[in-house]
Structure 1
Amino acid sequence: MGLPKARIVPLAVAGATAVAVAVGGGVWWTGKQKFETTDNAFVQADKVSVASLVDGYVAQVLVGDNQPVKAGQLLVRIDPAAIEAKLAQARANAAASEAAILAVDDKARLERALIAQKAAGVESARAEANLAQAELDRYGRLAREGWVSSQRAQTARAGQEQANAAVAQARATLEAERQAAASLNSARAQSEAQAAAARAAVEQTRIDLTRTEVRAPVDGVVGARGVRVGQYVRPGGALMSIVPLGDAYIVANFKETQVSRLRIGQPVEIHADAFGKQTIRGRIDSFAPATGSEFALIPVENAVGNFTKIAQRLPVRIAVDRKQPLAGALRPGLSVKVKVAVTENTGPSFAEASVLPSRVTAH
């Protein structure tokens, strides 16, 4: 005798449910053994903030919002009039400093000529002194023999003393000229230092003039453009940001219970809601040196009596395969879901990667 229909239907539903649960559980268990997944993952890129290095009024803004740009492309032009005037003044100061060096050199040549003249004066005074000494000797001998008066001998002595004084004066004048010439060395060194400072000022002003043209430091897309024509900007003030979309990467926050199976180089499937069911390929690039909570502005303090253990999450950087069509379409901030094939034994594991730096240091 068969079972009533009222009992057959519930039993059939229960059996189908059991089979579905078993199949689903088997699929889940199989996938769990082969993959580690998380939806706590986001697209990031090392965006660059473009700032002015000089102050002035913005004369031109040559890019618009969300516009792709190339490295070196002109973005903003700042009015160069004020810096051009400073450059002209700096060049004039440099020319004056160079002229000061030439003036010291001219004075040094004049001093050398004066030294030669004073040296000749010393020789002339010495010759006069020798002549006066000879006259004194002759008239002194004649005076002792009575051939000339003592007054004449005294006159010769006075002439000899005057000649000696002239020699001393000539030597003093020569020494003064030599001291003056020596002082020109320090004067020239000072003038050279001033000229070097003036040339440096010219170069700095020339650099500032080139900085009135703000150029893109990297390839990317313009974002957060806040600069406008006529705006007064100062050094360090942000003008816009450039996001290098071609260098975007994924930061996936895995639980600490998952990272033991992760290895550098393992393939990753990336799913973004913005791209529907399309898949992007990548690979594990590196592990963060600390959990995300450690980089928070206010780190969590666990030294309390009512501590409850919560699985922490470790940021894992995932590099995107650049050969894919959608690789350049990733936008920083998008949330994604990642699935890592943990069965592939590629590079070092999380534990091995964590001790590599210490091994390198030890060697």
Structure 2
Amino acid sequence: MNIAIDEQTRAEEHQQLRNKARQRRWLLAGAGAAVVGLLAYGNYWWGTGRFMESTDDAYLRADWVSVSARVPGYVAEVRVADDQPVQAGQVLMRLQDHDYLARRDQARAERDQANAAVAAGRAAWAEANAQVGRQREAITRFQAALSLALAERQRSSLDLQRYKGLVSEHAATAQRLESAQASALQAGAQEQAARAALAEQQSLLRIAEAQVQVASAHVAEANAGMAAAEARLALAEQDQNDTLVRSPIKGVVGQRRVRAGQYAVPGQPLLAVVPLEHTYVVANFKETQLARLQPGQPVDISVDGDDGQPLQGRVASFSPGSGAMFALLPSDNATGNFTKIVQRFPVRILLEPHDSRARILPGMSVIATVDTRAQEASHEH
């Protein structure tokens, strides 16, 4: 009986020893694996991990555009649906344009009227210039007549003086002297008449030149009216064209609030166009992480909403201030109740060309990891 009990006890002790040996082997294996893991992690941290700056406070963004009408009016037709891709310049909606067409036609009529006024003014100016030319020709003729009258007066004066001498010497009759005196008087009268006629023509020339100035002023006024009419026509045509609301950029329609029959006013948001092809990342890094960040550094991006879809990007720029600085109600640390908080600064990251099947939408959360090894290498050199 005792022998059986001793054998059973020895067997149990042997099994316990075997279990302890097995446990030691497992502990040693686990310790070895832990050491290997620590060495591998240490090697990764030393070669790579210590150069990585990461944050999960990052989101996809896009500079979307709010579309509104430039002119007021009732919406006649909406040509796009929610979430529809559109091209730049594509018509999104159309406003009723009856009033704008009538204003355009009225502006065209005013332009034609102004054009006719310009033509009439130019014709009057041409007629006034022609009258000036005619008056100058008439003055030339009357100047020639005055020259003849002066020559005739001088000849008659000389004849009168000669006949006076002849009469005193009894070489000519008194009747001949009287005839010479009459001729001299007649020549003087003709000279005065020629001078008066020349003065009249010169006065008419001044009147014609004044009419040219008046006609020039009318032409200038008509040209100004023409310019104003063309400007009104251009505005009317632009307003009529603006009844077609077009997409300013290529993107996808979102926030479509507009419906047919709705009255739209300028500046009222009607829908949004989101340029998905120009999506970028805004990552809010702590101020203690910014020292090693530089534009151009590569960034690994993991998108939460696409099963961690990996994307590549580059650091583009840094915000000129922290998020708290641009907050609606910025904090005031001069109140005496100060608690130091590590601030975050928005960093813009541009995406590299990627697979178009990747589902990335503005607003999605991402994890951004910046590789600063190039910056560290430059500092070491």
Q: Tell me which interval the TM-score lies in, with the shorter structure as reference length.
A: 0.7 to 0.9
Q: Is the 8 A contact 1:268 1:339 kept in 2?
A: yes
Distance 2:309 2:187 in 1: 123
Corresponding residue for residue 309 of structure 1: 340
Written as runs of structure 1 = structure 2, the 5 A alignment for 1:129-278 is 134=152, 138=156, 141=160, 147=178, 161-278=192-309
Superposed displacement of residue 62, structure 1: 0.3
Asked if structure 1 preserves the Cα contact closer than 8 Å seen for 2:82 and 2:254, the reply is yes
Alpha-carbon distance in 2 for matches of 1:310, 1:109: 84
Q: Is residue 306–residue 360 contact of structure 2 (8 Å, CA) maintained in 1? A: no
Cα offset for 1:326?
A: 5.0
Counterpart position of 1:65: 82
TM-score after normalising by structure 1? 0.77
Q: Secondary structure at the residue paired with 1:200?
A: helix
Residue deviations 1:189-233 (CA, integer Å, cap 9, x gap): 332233233223323333333222221121211111122212222
- Aligned partners of 2:142, 2:127: CA distance in 1, in Å? 22
Separation of aligned partners in 2, 1:115 and 1:175:
8
Per mean C-alpha deviation after superposition, the further-off stretch among 20-29 and 56-65 is: 20-29
User: Structure 1 vs Structure 2: percent identity of aligned residues?
Assistant: 37
Residue 345 of structure 1: aligned partner: 374
Residue type at the aligned position of 2:127: L
Structure 2 counterpart of 1:283: 314
Residue 44 of structure 1 and its aligned partner are, at CA, apart by 0.7
- 1:334 paired residue number: 364
Q: Which amino acid aligns with 2:365?
A: S
**What is the CA–CA distance in structure 2 between the aligned matches of 1:24 and 1:307, rounded to whole Å?**
43
Measure, in 1, the Cα distance between the counterparts of 2:333 and 2:377: 31
Equivalent positions of 1:80-91 (< 5 A) are 80-91=97-108
Q: Which is richer in helix?
A: 2
Report 1:102-141 matches (<5 A). 102-123=119-140, 125-126=142-143, 134=152, 138=156, 141=160
Tell me if the contact between 1:288 and 1:315 (Cα under 8 Å) persists in the aligned partners: yes
Counterparts in 2 of 1:22 and 1:172: CA distance versus 1, 3 Å:
same
Give the match for residue 360 of structure 1.
none
Shift of 1:47: 0.5
Shift in alpha-carbon separation, 1:26–1:187, aligned structure 2, 3 A:
farther
- Bigger Rg, structure 1 or 2: 2
- Extract unaligned runs of 5+ from structure 2: 1-12, 165-173
Unaligned regions of 5+ residues in structure 1, if any? 352-363
Residue 313 of structure 2 aligns to a residue whose secondary structure is strand
Give the 3 Å change call, closer, same or farther, for CA 307–25 of structure 1 in structure 2: farther
1:53 to 70, 73, 91: 70
- Whole-angstrom CA distance in 2 between matches of 1:183 and 1:117: 18
Contact map agreement 1:41 1:253 (CA 8 A) in 2: yes
Matched ranges for 1:92-107 at <5 A: 92-107=109-124
How far apart are the structure 1 equivalents of 2:363 and 2:79? Answer: 27
Corresponding letter in the other structure for 2:346: P
C-alpha separation in 2, matches of 1:335 and 1:217:
27
**Shift in Å at residue 284 of structure 1?**
2.7
Shift of 1:312: 0.8
Residue of structure 1 in register with 2:3 after alignment: none
Deviates more, 1:190-199 or 1:137-146: 137-146
Check the 8 A contact 2:292/2:375 in 1, yes or no.
no
Instruction: Look up the equivalent residue of 1:58 and give its one-letter code.
Output: V
Q: Alpha carbons of 1:278 and 1:181: their partners in 2 closer, same or farther (altered >3 Å)?
A: closer
Residue pair 2:287, 2:342 contacting (<8 A) in 1 also: yes
Separation in 2 of the partners of 1:178 and 1:261?
Answer: 82
32, 35, 41: which one aligns with 2:58 = 41
Aligned residues: 340
Matching residue's letter, 1:332: P
CA contact (8 A) 2:280 2:350 kept: yes
Q: CA RMSD in A?
A: 3.9
TM-score, normalized by length of structure 2? Answer: 0.74
Alpha-carbon spacing, 1:129–1:43, altered in 2? closer, same or farther (3 Å): same
User: Does structure 2 conserve the Cα–Cα contact (< 8 Å) formed by 1:253 and 1:314?
Assistant: yes
Contact 1:263 1:347 in 2 (8 A): no
